[in-house]
Structure 1
Amino acid sequence: MASSTANRWLRPEVYPLFAAVGVAVGICGLQLVRNICINPEVRVNKEHRAAGVLDNFAEGEKYTEHFLRKFVRNKSPEIMPSINSFFTDPSRS
């Protein structure tokens, strides 16, 4: 029974599925660790929870404006801009 299950799931055809699920789980894990460690609204310690609601806008702004958001802020929302411009620019034809 165990060998048939292994033969069914450990085929080369399912490796992309394992990779996609692994990447998704990794992204979720990184977001969880990021929220637990540096989110100003998450308090794990009892002393921090007792403080109540803090109006700490500077720390919230620092958390929100992270590196990736700053990097993509002025970029166009295209995956392949050169190919898109090649097919949509009328002056190229």
Structure 2
Amino acid sequence: MASSSALKRWLRPEVYPLFAAVGVAVGICGMQLVRNICTNPEVRVTKEHRTAGILDNFDEGEKYSQHLLRKYVRQRSPQIMPSINNFFSDPEI
């Protein structure tokens, strides 16, 4: 009886955007976790790699830190809406 009232309370159309936002946030966190475990040069999961100590592998660190998204964003303007920002900040006289 209690579970049916909980379903009626939480499974309404008004709550779907909240579920979507939380799902996207959890997906991004999971993706970052997998990326760090699999490709971070400072994270060592297996016993053989843990015994290596501190490695000075700068090429691998550079490859990890300069990923594809960062390379894509580097050439873009740091503004979210540049046309609106330019309209309000550079008025024509």
Query: Structure 1-normalised TM-score?
Result: 0.92
Amino acid at match of 2:88: F
Amino acid at match of 1:61: E
For 2:51, the equivalent position in structure 1 comes to 50
> How big is the shift at 1:87?
2.6
Root-mean-square deviation (CA, aligned residues, Å) is 1.1
- State the identity %: 76
Show CA shifts across 1:14-55 (max 9, x none). Answer: 111101100000000000000011110011110000111101
Structure 1's unaligned 5+ residue stretches are none
Runs of 4+ in 1 over 6 A off after TM superposition: none
Give the Cα separation in 1 of the matches to 2:72 and 2:51.
36
For 1:27, the equivalent position in structure 2 comes to 28
For 2:37, the equivalent position in structure 1 comes to 36
> How big is the shift at 1:86?
2.2
Query: Structure 2-normalised TM-score?
Result: 0.92
